[in-house]
Amino acid sequence: MTSSAPAALPASASVLDLAPVVPVVVLEDAADAVPLARALVAGGLPAIEVTLRTAAALDAIRAIAAEVPGAVVGAGTVISVRNVTETVSAGARFLVSPGWTDTLLDAMKASGVPFLPGVSTTSEVVALLERGVTEMKFFPAEAAGGTAYLKALSAPLPQARFCPTGGISPASAPTYLALPNVGCVGGSWMVPGDAVAAKDWVRVERLAREASVLRG
């Protein structure tokens, strides 16, 4: 194994500004992590969210952090203090949760890496703003009101910025990205299961390149 220093994301930096799309990756085999990440980075998508939905997730994060210096690897589906501790130790440079509690938020704040707590209601947004958090994941985006909901939030809560995730496609992504309170979107269309199973990294890179220019 060839080790390289992982791409660091300063605590003051914003995950929302790294690329217009953050790939949401589910890996069953950690051996696929490095070639997949290299394809995504080559396609212009350096921020990669590896979700904690499989037993391979932590090893996948470790591998990307160690071997793909162009990647900014993060952990998704973070729902516990243990998730925070384990993923940051594995090399995660940002954290994404589908929702939040005070306990989880405290742990993410103490982790030293940027984080996007999940929200789907106005009250949750206001509660996070009260805690000094201005960058959030809007999830599940399409089911929770989509672009119309986010547009409605922008006037009374302009300080809140979002990464909408959940049901977003290449067709709908530009509409989200045109909103003033959306920094990026999360999606998995550039890492389709059949391409990963076939180890078709050329296809993944092509889809990533197409996604990287969706804004504007």
What is the three-class DSSP state of 43?
coil
Catalytic residue, from 28, 137, 151, 199: name it.
137
How far apart CA 212 and CA 40 sit, in angstroms, is 10
d(C-alpha 22, C-alpha 44), whole Å: 10
CA 61 from chain centre, in angstroms, equals 13
Asked whether the beta carbons of 3 and 29 are under 8 A apart, the reply is no
Query: Out of 49, 67, 135, 205, which one is annotated catalytic?
Result: 49
Q: In the annotation, is 49 catalytic? A: yes
Query: Cα(28)–Cα(23) distance, rounded to whole angstroms?
Result: 16
* CB contact at 8 A, 97 and 104: yes
| Widest CA span in the chain | 51
- Assign 71 to helix, strand or coil: coil
137 belongs to the catalytic site: yes
How far apart (Å, rounded) are the C-alpha atoms in residues 89 and 62?
9
Residues marked active site are found at: 49, 137
